[in-house]
Amino acid sequence: MAEGIGALAFIPLTTRGGLIGKFMAYYPTAHVFTDEEITIAVTIARQLAFGLERMRAEDERQAAEEAKDLLLSESKHRIKNTLATAQAIARQTLRDANPDEVEALLARLHARGEAHDLLTIEKWHQAPLRGVIDRALKPFESQQQNRFVIEGTSVWIPANTSLNLTLCLHELATNAVKYGALSNRSGHVRVSWELSVEQDQRRLCLTWQEKGGPPVKLPDRKGFGSLLVELTGQGKTCVDFRPDGVRCLLELPL
- pLDDT value for 89: 63
Q: What is the pLDDT of residue 60?
A: 82
**CB burial of residue 23 (10 Å; 0-12, 13-18, 19+):** middle
Domains of the chain, each with CATH number or no CATH: 7-57 (no CATH), 125-253 (3.30.565.10)
pLDDT of residue 186: 86
Number of CB atoms found within 10 A of residue 135's CB? 20
Query: Which residues in the chain land under pLDDT 50?
Result: 1
Q: What pLDDT, on a 0 to 100 scale, did the predictor assign at position 189? A: 94
Query: What is the pTM assigned to this prediction?
Result: 0.62
Q: Residue 211's pLDDT is what?
A: 94
pLDDT digits (tens, 9 = 90+) for 30-41: 888 888 888 888
Query: Which pLDDT value is given to residue 204?
Result: 92
Residue 90: Cβ-neighbour burial (10 angstroms; 0-12, 13-18, 19+): middle
